[in-house]
């Protein structure tokens, strides 16, 4: 009587060099993914629109715009970062929580932030396009659906805030152009005269503090 042993096939483990290669590849995409999952998108777009409204060209430069957006993003995301550090990072480093569970907890925290800033209409639309649902509560929506809905909502919100900021400067441009035309100074560029007026007004009302404070408050508690 012969006995046959059924061996279940097993996938070979990845070599160390291949694991390092995959990790380095993931790290190149991680910054872009994190920026799109935080408050950075809205802040960067509004600051770029503000620079365009002031008519300053490339001043402040892109590095300053990005740096300011990153610092304000850290300020806005501080509650989420603190909770991720306490619930996921510290236990993972201490060895009491597996890396997979720590990553899942961090993802849930970011997902809660994104859902709080996402319009229900955008979330429903992308859920329908993905063919999922209905979902009992927003947290049940997969992250792959929440991400594009969050980005779409952030782009729309950033443009809405940008329009509100742009309109006062547009009014100044129109007033200066009308005054110059009434004085017969049609050869003088209105932008040349309105630029110092806009800068002086912006500095007088402490514009940077107002804009950055309003952006931080726009994300709510």
- Please state, in angstroms and rounded to a whole number, the distance separating the CA atoms of residues 148 and 63: 26
Alpha helices by DSSP H, the chain: 16-36, 40-54, 62-76, 78-84, 90-94, 99-117, 120-130, 143-182, 190-204, 207-218
How is 49-95 classified by DSSP, letter by letter? HHHHHHT-TT-S-HHHHHHHHHHHHHHHTHHHHHHHIIIIIHHHHHT
Q: What would the two tokens of residue 6 be?
A: 């059924």
Q: Kindly give the confidence (pLDDT) of every residue in the chain, 221 residues in length, as a single tens digit, with 9 standing for 90 and above.
A: 344 434 434 434 445 666 667 667 766 777 777 788 888 999 999 999 999 888 877 888 889 999 999 999 999 988 888 888 888 888 877 778 787 788 888 888 888 889 889 998 988 888 888 877 677 777 888 888 889 999 999 999 999 999 999 998 888 888 888 888 887 777 777 777 888 888 888 889 888 999 999 999 988 76
CA distances from 205 to 198, 209, 213 (A): 11, 9, 13
Say what the pLDDT of residue 202 is.
87
């Amino acid at each position: 009587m012969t006995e046959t042993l059924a061996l279940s096939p097993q996938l070979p483990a990845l070599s160390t060099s291949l694991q390092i290669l995959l990790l380095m590849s993931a790290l190149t995409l991680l910054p872009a993914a994190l920026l799109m999952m935080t408050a950075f998108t809205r802040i960067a777009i509004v600051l770029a629109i503000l620079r365009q409204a002031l008519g300053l060209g490339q001043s402040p430069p892109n590095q300053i715009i990005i740096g300011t957006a990153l610092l304000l993003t850290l300020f806005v995301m501080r509650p989420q970062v603190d909770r991720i550090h306490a619930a996921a990072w510290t236990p993972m480093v201490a060895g009491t929580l597996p890396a997979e569970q720590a990553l899942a907890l961090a993802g849930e925290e970011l997902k809660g932030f994104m859902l709080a800033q996402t319009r229900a209409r955008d979330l429903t639309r992308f859920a329908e396009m993905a063919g999922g649902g209905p979902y009992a509560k927003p947290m049940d929506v997969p992250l792959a659906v929440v991400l594009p809905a969050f980005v779409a909502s952030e782009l729309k919100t950033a443009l809405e805030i940008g329009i509100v900021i742009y309109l006062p400067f547009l009014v100044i441009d129109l007033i200066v152009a009308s005054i110059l035309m009434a004085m017969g100074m049609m050869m003088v560029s209105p932008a040349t005269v309105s630029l110092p007026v806009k800068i002086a007004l912006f500095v007088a009302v402490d514009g940077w503090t107002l804009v950055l404070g309003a952006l931080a408050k726009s994300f709510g508690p």
